[in-house]
Structure 1
Amino acid sequence: MPDQKPPANVHRCTIKNLPLEHGVLGEITVEGENAAQCIDQIVRLLKRKSRPRKSGRGAPPPTSPTDFLDAAIERYISDLTRRKVGLTYIQLHRQTLGIMLAVIGNKSLASVTGDDVRRTLDSFKFWPKNARRIPAMKELSFAEILDIGKRLTPPPINAETYNNHVRRLNAFFNTQEDADRSFRSPAQGIAKEINTSTAIKSRRPLSASDLEKIFEIEAYSKWSKDKPHRWWGPLLALYTGARVSEIAQLRTTDIHTVDGVSCICIQVTTTGQRLKNGSSIRAIPIAQPLLDANFLTYVDEVRATGQDRLFPHLPLSVTVKDGEAYVNGYGSTLVQQFSRYIKKHGFKKGIGSHVFRHTFATNLTKEKVRAVQIAALTGHTVVGAPSESVSVPGLLSYIDRGMCPPELRACAETLSKFYPGIEIPVYTPGQFAKALSRKSKFHK
Structure 2
Amino acid sequence: MRNTYQDRNGTFYLRLLVPKVLLPHVTRSKVVQSLRTKDRRQAYFRSMEASLAFEKWIRDMKNKFGIGDDNRELIVSLPNGAKIEFDLEKATEKDAYESLMGTIAAVPQNGPQIVEQVREATPLPRVPAWATRARLIDIFESYKLAKAKTFAQATQDGYFPRIQKFMDFYRAKGIVFIDEIRKTHASDYRDEVTRLQESPLTIDNYTKTLKGFFDFAISVGKYSFENPFANMHLVKKSERAKHTDSWIPYTKDEIQRLFVGNYEAYCKRFNKPDLFFSPLISLTTGMRVDEIAQLYVSDIYQENEVWVFDINDNGDDKEVKTPSSIRKMPFTSQLLQTNFLDYFHMVKEKYGETSLLFPYLTKTASNGYAKNISYNWTQYKQKLITVDESQKVFHSLRKNVGAAMVDLLIDIALRKRILGHSMDGDITHTVYGAEFSLENIRSLLEKMDWGIDFSKFQFKFKNENVLVGWVNSKAIKARKKALKDALIEKTSKKK
TM-score with structure 1 length normalisation? Answer: 0.49
Task: Look at both structures and tell me which one has the larger radius of gyration over its CA atoms.
Answer: 2
Q: Work out which structure has the larger RCO, using CA pairs closer than 8 Å and 6 or more positions apart in sequence.
A: 1
TM-score, normalisation: structure 2 = 0.45
